[in-house]
Amino acid sequence: MSRPSWQQRIQAARSERAAASRTRVRRSVGQRDGARCVVDGRNLLNFCGNDYLGLSQHFAVINALQDAAARDGAGGVASHLVCGHHTLHETLEKELADWIGAPAALLFGNGFLANLAVVQSLLDDESVCVQDRLNHASLIDAARLAGCRLRRYPHADAEGAIRQLRNVPSGLAMLATDGVFSMDGDIAPLRQLALVARVQRALLYVDDAHGVGVLGPDGRGSVAEARLGTGEVPLQLVTLGKALGSYGAAVVGDAELVGHLAETARPYIYTTALPPAQAAASLAAIRLARQEHWRREKLADLIGRFREHASRVGLALMDSQTPIQPVVAGSDQRALAMAQSLEQDGYWVAPIRPPTVPEGRARLRVTLSALHGVGDVDGLVVALQRARDRSERMHDSARPLTTP
């Protein structure tokens, strides 16, 4: 029997990615200082992280991490249901639930695990999970791994969602959406989706990884921004590693559903708990996020300034009022060229290419932080304009000559 070679398959796949300008390369960050970082030995202004409130380097967060590590050690020791559940975990869950305005919360190692836990624990092969076409990969993979029927509707289309639910009239149903879409930066139509879920008797689950900390009263996220609560959105995902600058995630919502996850979710039962020190850092970050409203106010001002100045020079923006501000490049090659031009000028902005985004929609994913200043944003717009013009000149020079 002859089997194909793994080496040949891997090499062929890599050659295909290289031909399409879709190879991925890890960059090594040697040092961070506010919004600046040293990348492969070069000092750059970072506009591609998710530290929206600028809390990852806050002295109170770092002190909480160090103090708890000195007292409780560096590791989580065991799973939560064996002996890994610490009083710091308990305190963090209660603080999260209180902040979001929900009865209960359950900690996970990260958002990918949390999404898998929710879908696997609540749905089976007779159930359906209806999702926005632009949902994060973790939600899509969660449905596939759960074995349920996965149906996807056009982006932000509540009517499309209800059509998909009507097409599968029997079995349990979940309607799952990002709150803020990570590559477009726009916000899901949560009030319309909540009505769809109620009419179709589906459980509405919102992955609010990029909304919590940034949107809503006291930074409670996109669900609170839409004036919805646990009655309409029984479960939502809160990540600790974006606006809160820490690491980990939590599912927040209805106490009975959260209790079910704690007893049945394989990604919760069969993995080591977050280190207590990490929970302490997240706890400190949440308290800052709740109290220091100026961070969100400054962020909103920077978003408005970036959009105004970028529109003035004709950059191709998307409809986003969040810290995620994509600048559309179109082709993969142009996105790469613009990113390289920005780096030459001292700015780090990641080029995002398919399959992360649709074909022909490659972009520079600019993300803003309370760590940035007005001068940083103004300088970035100038550098983006220059990068666009350079890429257009390169594109024109590469275009073959034609005769009439």
**Residues in binding site for substrate:** 24, 136, 356
Q: List the binding residues.
A: 24, 111-112, 136, 182, 210, 239, 356
Distance CA 361, CA 330 (A): 5
Show the CA angle centred on residue 248, arms to residues 105 and 38, nearest 5°: 150
CA distances from 264 to 80, 116, 121 (A): 12, 12, 6
H/E run at residue 390: helix 374-398
CA distance 343 to 238: 32
User: Which ranges of 320-373 would DSSP assign to H, the alpha helix?
Assistant: 332-344
How far apart CA 95 and CA 209 sit, in angstroms, is 17
b/e per residue, 57-95, with b = 16+ CB within 10 A? ebeebeebbeebbeebeeebbeebeeebbbebbeebbeb
What is the amino acid identity at position 229? G
Structure-token pair, residue 265: 């979710």
Q: Which positions make up the binding site for pyridoxal 5'-phosphate?
A: 111-112, 182, 210, 239
Helix, strand, coil percentages (3-state) for the chain, rounded to 5, are 45, 20, 35
Distances from the Cα of 214 to the Cαs of 27, 154, 245, 307, in angstroms? 27, 26, 12, 17
Helix H segments across 266-373?
Answer: 266-269, 276-291, 294-312, 332-344
Can you tell me which residue has the tokens 């799973």? 79
